[in-house]
Amino acid sequence: MSRVKTLQALFKRYRRPGDVVFAWVFLLISLALLSQIIDQTAYRAGGKLFAQPRFWPAVSLGGMSFFAALHLLSSLMSERIQGRWREAALWVASIEYALWFILYAFVVPYLGYLPATISFAILLILRAGYRSRAIIIGTLVSAICIVLLFKTFLQVKLPGGQLYEALPGELRQFMLTYF
């Protein structure tokens, strides 16, 4: 078997079906960023080319667009593989966890760091499909340890929740300081 045939066989074996979707998305994003280069960067008259604030971002975005176009071209020229949209759907589904984090960051100032961390840790393991009592207890203990590590030992300044305002004086101060 020739070297080219071997490389083609390896390429076909490890090829992902969603690459053409990825190639289109990457090309569109890189072209959109490149189209904004003039509005988002400056040009200084009389300066050296390599010292221009626009030069290196333009080079990187130009290269990104060029290689994205090559990737798209190679994806379009290669044979079709089933499962392209199933893989693309998997990529979109993974955005769910970023949305969970955004919601968590939004809720912390209202619930407080400890209740929000415990709630979201347990919700996420339930969302992931874990239902055993040992896993839930382990998650609860892990969430409490994370809060203690960040708030008490590392003394990271995190917002106290509005929920803490309803607590009696000394308990409220304790929760604001340590949890």
What pLDDT was estimated at residue 179? Answer: 67
The dihedrals phi and psi of 47, each to the nearest 5 degrees, come to -85, 160
Confidence of residue 8 (pLDDT cuts 50, 70, 90): low
Of residues 165 and 145, more confidence is placed in 145
pLDDT tens string 98-123: 999 999 999 988 888 889 999 999 99
Contacts 24+ apart (CB under 8 A), 117-120: 117/143, 117/146, 117/147, 118/143, 118/144, 118/147
- What pLDDT score does 125 carry? 95
- Which residues are CB-contacts of 21 (< 8 A; sequence separation ≥ 6)? 84, 85, 87, 88, 91
Contact 93, 139 (CB under 8 A): no
Q: In percent, how much of the chain has pLDDT > 70?
A: 88
- Rg for the chain (alpha carbons), in Å? 25
pLDDT in tens, 79-91: 766 777 777 788 7
Mean pLDDT over residues 2-28, rounded?
Answer: 72
Cα 11 to Cα 79: distance, rounded to the nearest angstrom: 11
Beta-carbon contacts of 176 under 8 Å, excluding residues fewer than 6 positions away, are 160, 164
pTM over 0.75: no
